[in-house]
Structure 1
Amino acid sequence: MKRIMLWSVLLFPLSGLCQQQAPKDTVRLSDLDLKAVMAFLAKDQVKDTDVIGDFNALDAILNKDIGEEALGKEIESLDMVRDSVAFYKLVTTKPAALYQKKLLMKQAFVKEHPDSYMSLYELEDNNEMYTTATYAAAYEQLSDRLKKMHAAQRIRDRIAAWKKLSPKGQQAPDFTRKNQYGKTIRLSDYRGKLVILDFWGSWCGACRQSHPHLKALYDTYKNKGLEIVAIANENAHGQPAFAECKAAWLGAIKKDEVNWVHVLNDEGSGGIDIVKAYDISAYPTKILLDRDGKILMRVSFMLNVEMDELIKSMLEK
């Protein structure tokens, strides 16, 4: 049976679902590409015969069925018109959970194979699964041989750049906005709580794929001292008018049932540009603040687990 890549399911457009046909194939979660690996290593003149063994080993690990076959059958059983609600719920939950497991398998491979070209490649390719601290630590665990390669410079450059962005312990810039109900709020209103700043947009499939997970996290910890303040950048893709941007924003909040604090980056009030103040260049980006409004952690991916673990450790004492 022919397979489709996970992201064709995971990042389905979140509007107009009923106009599409449900895929009838097995979902594929492994996305290794030997050509991409060799391009990454090109300046170091690495031969494909030196890579293929570890490539095949990692590919075999990632191709183990952890629920893809069952997911494919579940997708195939649904009609996107007749079962549009069930289909939407399915593609915004299960694929992401399975993909997260695959990424953790890649992280484990990197840790267990410090002298493998594939570890160097995966550290570069899946950098968003790490925080600054754990990314730097994973790089340090690589062999000296790998660290001397040209390809390794890209990782060192990224570590240096990340350390400049919202460094741990820095006071988070305050801002004032109207929330989705028209009430004026300030970030500093939430001192005394752990706060997740969630930078997203209604147009961002990956951002909205993260909502079910955030909902589960919020339901678990909202009464223990967690708040989410979501900042939507509705102009990021050149949407024309403020009224249209606001409507898309409010529509996404309602459809995804994300009932925490929401504000627009640009509401026409002349306040600070929150996106620029926090150096946001990727969506989604999530920044965790401590009870004093200082930055604890920054992640730029929908599936990072380290923030969950830190929140749990701080709120389940």
Structure 2
Amino acid sequence: MKKLVIIVSAITMVFAACEKDKGYYLSGNTEGFEDGTKVYISELGEDTRAPKVVDTAVIKNGHFEVDLEDTDVPNLGFLRFEGSNGSVLFIEENQKISFDINKDSIQNAKVSGGKENAALNEYMGHLKDLNQKYMKLQADSREAMMKQDTAALENMQATQMELRDNDKVKKEEIFKNNKDSFVGLMVLTDMLNMKTHSATEVKKMYEELSDRIKQTPLAKKLKENLDQMSATDVGNKAPEFSGPNPEGKEISLSENMGKVTIVDFWAAWCKPCRAESPNLVKVYNKYKDQGLNIISVSLDRPGQKDKWVEAIKEDNLGAWNHVSHLEFWKEPIARKYGVTAIPATYILDDQGVIVAKNLRGDDLSNKIGELLSKS
């Protein structure tokens, strides 16, 4: 009898150990996939640029499961299915995470399990609802434009502003409730990328994240971006830089300061930049004798110096200095300024302090005139 008790105890311990191992554990029910279909489990890599595959599972009788190594910190996870487009987003955590997935609507998969994924469901639901409202607004705007219904268009502009304000409030609410969650970090990243909040605002909220979340690759990347972008917030001194002009001569910002200076990021391939060129020329010609200077930084591609030079000529931009390392989005000056979209414009006073950003058309001209009148 004693021997039997020992054997039963040993078996119990084995099962307990197995259950304990199942911390980070994925289990999915699927429809429409053939038996033998591979499921690729990926996570956001250290460089945060692209997911990397960490494991695979196989669908059998409409089901798959995989027990993965426990994770020290949460991370963004992805499920991708052999022979199918689209992926399922989830957050890695030491819980059993369950999926219900239909091959014909992978994007509508249901994810459950753990507080991280509950928070993710709330956030993704908000983004989906917001996107649907924006799509309807765009469709209504096109119809109003065709009918030349000015009143309707004005109402839609007000609605768009309301949507933006509501989105900002909702993001702040979700962040407030998820400072020790990967979702809180995702919200901050979206705030910065979608420009619903300034880099200074996001940086302040970043400090409220838990130390655990700050250890994730995405948090480290966000911190790096925030340090760069907050350095070029209005009120800060513009970072010094230098780069080669088309003739190969090194040109610096400090050597090109005027009473007011425009630092303009653009590229020959950028249609919105080229569309803004005539206004930039107009502003320069209007204020150059009063102390306006411009230095343009191009994000043209490697090996395409000829296109950069030709664009300067075509757009009549040759009256001021141009620099570029011809490294596309890896342009070191653009990275120093945290530039993620072009055109991007920084207006500096005579001390090199950034006083305005990303003004266009009459707004740019009026601001330059205002600054020069005070100098």
Give me the whole-angstrom Cα distance separating, in 1, the residues matched to 2:130 and 2:291. 53
Q: Tell me the CA shift for residue 41 of structure 1.
A: 10
Q: Tell me the CA shift for residue 203 of structure 1.
A: 1.4
User: Which of 276, 293, 300 is the matching residue for 1:227?
Assistant: 293
Per-residue CA deviation, residues 39-66 of structure 1 (Å, 9 max, x unaligned), is x996389699x99998888667645769
Per-residue CA deviation, residues 223-243 of structure 1 (Å, 9 max, x unaligned), is 1111111001123xxx4xxxx
Give me the whole-angstrom Cα distance separating, in 1, the residues matched to 2:127 and 2:242. 50
> What does 1:1-317 align with in structure 2 at a 5 Å threshold?
43=126, 62-63=145-146, 113=158, 116=159, 118-121=160-163, 123=164, 139=165, 148-149=169-170, 158-163=195-200, 164=226, 165=229, 166-235=232-301, 239=302, 244-266=303-325, 273-299=332-358, 303=360, 305-316=362-373
Q: Tell me the CA shift for residue 194 of structure 1.
A: 0.9
Give me the whole-angstrom Cα distance separating, in 2, the residues matched to 1:168 and 1:47. 29
Q: TM-score, normalised to structure 2's length?
A: 0.44
* Cα pair distance change 1:204/1:176, threshold 3 Å: same
Letter in 2 for 1:231: V
Letter in 2 for 1:187: L
* Cα pair distance change 1:193/1:180, threshold 3 Å: farther
Give me the whole-angstrom Cα distance separating, in 1, the residues matched to 2:146 and 2:124. 23
What stretches of structure 1 of length at least 5 have no aligned partner? 1-39, 67-101, 124-138, 140-144
Q: Tell me the CA shift for residue 202 of structure 1.
A: 1.2
What stretches of structure 2 of length at least 5 have no aligned partner? 1-122, 175-186, 201-225
Are the equivalent residues in 1 in contact too, given 2:262–2:347 (CA < 8 A)? yes
Per-residue CA deviation, residues 225-266 of structure 1 (Å, 9 max, x unaligned), is 11111001123xxx4xxxx32211111111221123343331
Are the equivalent residues in 2 in contact too, given 1:179–1:263 (CA < 8 A)? yes
Report what 2:20 is aligned to: none
Report what 2:65 is aligned to: none
Are the equivalent residues in 1 in contact too, given 2:277–2:315 (CA < 8 A)? yes
Identical counterparts, % of pairs = 23
Q: How many residues align?
A: 203
Are the equivalent residues in 2 in contact too, given 1:289–1:296 (CA < 8 A)? yes
Letter in 2 for 1:292: Q
Letter in 2 for 1:43: H
SS in 2 for 1:203: coil
Are the equivalent residues in 2 in contact too, given 1:198–1:285 (CA < 8 A)? yes
Give me the whole-angstrom Cα distance separating, in 2, the residues matched to 1:42 and 1:199. 36
* Cα pair distance change 1:46/1:308, threshold 3 Å: same
* Cα pair distance change 1:202/1:149, threshold 3 Å: same
Letter in 1 for 2:371: M
Report what 2:106 is aligned to: none
SS in 2 for 1:160: coil
Letter in 2 for 1:247: D
Are the equivalent residues in 1 in contact too, given 2:300–2:326 (CA < 8 A)? no
Are the equivalent residues in 2 in contact too, given 1:146–1:152 (CA < 8 A)? no
Q: TM-score, normalised to structure 1's length?
A: 0.50
Q: Tell me the CA shift for residue 277 of structure 1.
A: 0.9
Give me the whole-angstrom Cα distance separating, in 1, the residues matched to 2:127 and 2:271. 36
Are the equivalent residues in 2 in contact too, given 1:297–1:307 (CA < 8 A)? no
SS in 1 for 2:281: helix
Give me the whole-angstrom Cα distance separating, in 1, the residues matched to 2:369 and 2:155. 26
Q: Tell me the CA shift for residue 215 of structure 1.
A: 1.0
Give me the whole-angstrom Cα distance separating, in 2, the residues matched to 1:109 and 1:246. 46
Give me the whole-angstrom Cα distance separating, in 2, the residues matched to 1:210 and 1:52. 27
* Cα pair distance change 1:182/1:152, threshold 3 Å: same
Letter in 2 for 1:120: E
Give me the whole-angstrom Cα distance separating, in 2, the residues matched to 1:313 and 1:216. 16
Larger radius of gyration: 2
* Cα pair distance change 1:229/1:41, threshold 3 Å: same
